[in-house]
A and B are shown apart, each in its own frame.
Chain A
Amino acid sequence: MTSAGTLKTSRSELDLDRPNIEDYLPTGSSIQQEPRGKLRLHDLLDLSPTLSEAAGAIVDDSFTRCFKSNPPEPWNWNVYLFPLWCCGVVFRYLILFPARVLVLTIGWIIFLSSFIPVHFLLKGQDKLRRNLERSLVEMMCSFFVASWTGVVKYHGPRPSRRPKQVFVANHTSMIDFIILEQMTAFAVIMQKHPGWVGLLQSTILESVGCIWFNRSEAKDREIVTRKLREHVQGADNNPLLIFPEGTCVNNHYTVMFKKGAFELGCTVCPVAIKYNKIFVDAFWNSRKQSFTKHLLQLMTSWAVVCDVWYLEPQNLKPGETPIEFAERVRDIISHRAGLKKVPWDGYLKYSRPSPKHRERKQQNFAESMLRRLEEK
């Protein structure tokens, strides 16, 4: 199910729907020039362009590249570097890790012992309770960031609380949310997860105002759009943070942005996040690790280093479609964070491409054949 899955796509909408994939595919893989001249048996039997494209995709393709976690170069391959590395491992696992767990536990205790009373005792005074809960969540996120020794540099003006604005950011891991949340209490829209993460989602995150969706539910999309609109209109609600890619990407590429965040009729504030892989790769490869394992990996590394840029708010330009708007913002974010753009829908991780891509190729072939048949 692509992002246009529930819309009726007419022929003309087909082209407006997404940028031309052929512009992004490596030049060798597209048919170089339109073959000319009378159609002969040779031309009909020659499958080489199509086969080359298929083989090219088998050998390397821009979609799989987006989700490849590149292991860092090992530096411990030397007689004296190796013992140094071993000392580092011992320090990280036996000293740093327990210290961090301690910090995190203290953080949880402080948080829960403040949050629960505030939540239940201040039921009447909504505004005060909200502000307190907001500060508490920000504090808890700071504890989380401290527990992996996060070195986060924020650039740009801090987000302000105003109605009719949404924040969009590129997505690498769920810790993106925590890193942004420690600075500003955002409301977020997330895929509902199972396990302890889901529990967190339904209790604490509920207080900052979160919206849930289920990727696999087709009808969900309309409900979600409605909830988004409602949230953005409310003046009291926390600013909404959306990750329009819809899935975690490896921080070298960006996949297509879903247009949901861009058709709400409000200002879009882009946020770019770039991780420095020097100590650990923060990309959460959800196909390879559970979130718990990912967190443990972070907690046993030296540090998580990243840059966050709050970029200039953007509005829909007159005559621009939401999809063009989404692409323009993706351009801004990719440029700032040094990421390459690919024309794929992130949800292709979970489903097959829609038949209309194949149909476009078939249409080109058929038209070329019929046209050349007429030539003498």
Chain B
Amino acid sequence: MGTASSMLTQYDIEEVQEHCNNLFSQQEIVSLYQRFCQLDRNAKGFISSDEFLSVPEFAMNPLSQRLLKMVDGINFKDFVAFLSAFSAKATSYHKIELIFKVYDSDRNGKVSFKDILEVLKDLSGPFMSDEQREQVLSQVLKEAGYSKESSLTLDDFIKVLGQSELKMDVEIPVD
């Protein structure tokens, strides 16, 4: 385990806590740090894609490649900020914002028909054809009042997803 940076000082914890808008308790941050050090094999201070993929449960998740683009080479502060969307204390807005970011891979603030199709492709793999995916998406878009050409913004996402409670919480195990 042991490089000098293996121990978090109180100052470090408070800094990280502020960075994630107090969505995690100090104990949770310490737990997350232990986990971070476990994943960061050679104590470089950041976690590479390869190290994320060494967690089999993560590697077999259909969205792993998309998430890797967001977390590759992540340092501890950003690691906690990323996971803060999954805190029970996070707002719906925060969670929906993360979902939007997963769709909007080119970061232009708009999610097009093609963007959604790509995510659907990750989720359904070889079990749906491209035509089926297009058909499904066109149909639900039309019923929701959008068209194939419309690009969805974050506000649209909030309108669509904000209607019901989003269950996107992960508990941080605290010893």
Asked whether, in the complex, the Cβ of B99 is within 8 Å of the Cβ of A46, the reply is yes
Q: Which of A58, A348, A357 has the most CB of B within 10 A?
A: A58
Asked whether, in the complex, the Cβ of A58 is within 8 Å of the Cβ of B139, the reply is no
Asked whether, in the complex, the Cβ of A352 is within 8 Å of the Cβ of B62, the reply is no
Asked whether, in the complex, the Cβ of A52 is within 8 Å of the Cβ of B169, the reply is yes
Nearest chain A CB to B147's CB is how many angstroms away? 12
- Chain A residues with a Cβ closer than 8 Å to the other chain, count: 48
A287: CB under 8 A from chain B?
yes
B160: CB under 8 A from chain A?
yes
Asked whether, in the complex, the Cβ of A362 is within 8 Å of the Cβ of B116, the reply is no
User: How far apart sit A55 and B64, CA to CA, in the bound complex (Å)?
Assistant: 10
Asked whether, in the complex, the Cβ of B1 is within 8 Å of the Cβ of A71, the reply is yes
Asked whether, in the complex, the Cβ of A52 is within 8 Å of the Cβ of B127, the reply is no
Asked whether, in the complex, the Cβ of A57 is within 8 Å of the Cβ of B63, the reply is no
Nearest chain B CB to A291's CB is how many angstroms away? 19
Q: What 0/1 readout, one digit per residue, does chain A (308-345) give for beta carbons within 8 Å of chain B? A: 00000000000000000000000000000000000010
Chain B positions within 8 Å of A53 at CB level: 57, 61
Which residues 342-373 in A have Cβ within 8 Å of B in the complex?
344, 348, 352-353, 357-359, 361-363, 365-367, 369-370, 373
B161: CB under 8 A from chain A?
yes
Nearest chain B CB to A25's CB is how many angstroms away? 7
Chain A positions within 8 Å of B163 at CB level: 42
Nearest chain A CB to B153's CB is how many angstroms away? 13
Contact among A47, A64, A353 for B60, CB-based, below 8 A: A353
A109: CB under 8 A from chain B?
no
A16: CB under 8 A from chain B?
no
Contact among B53, B57, B67, B86 for A25, CB-based, below 8 A: B57
With A41-B146, A51-B102, A68-B38: A58-B55 Cβ-Cβ less than 8 Å: yes
Asked whether, in the complex, the Cβ of A50 is within 8 Å of the Cβ of B123, the reply is yes
A34: CB under 8 A from chain B?
no
Asked whether, in the complex, the Cβ of A41 is within 8 Å of the Cβ of B86, the reply is no
Chain B positions within 8 Å of A366 at CB level: 123-125, 127-128
Asked whether, in the complex, the Cβ of A362 is within 8 Å of the Cβ of B123, the reply is yes
A79: CB under 8 A from chain B?
no
Contact among B38, B128, B140, B170 for A44, CB-based, below 8 A: B140
The 10 tightest CB contacts between A and B, nearest first, are: A362-B125, A366-B127, A57-B57, A41-B144, A48-B168, A357-B60, A366-B124, A57-B58, A54-B61, A366-B128
Binding site for A on B (CB under 8 A): 1, 32, 35, 38-39, 41, 52-64, 67, 71, 83, 86, 95, 98-99, 102-103, 116, 119-120, 123-128, 132, 136-137, 139-141, 143-144, 146, 157, 160-161, 163-164, 166-173
- 29 A-B residue pairs with Cβ-Cβ distance under 8 Å, sorted by A, are A28-B171, A40-B143, A41-B144, A41-B146, A42-B160, A44-B137, A46-B161, A47-B99, A47-B102, A48-B166, A50-B61, A50-B63, A51-B99, A52-B169, A57-B58, A59-B32, A59-B172, A61-B55, A63-B55, A348-B56, A353-B56, A358-B62, A361-B60, A362-B62, A362-B123, A363-B125, A366-B128, A369-B136, A370-B132
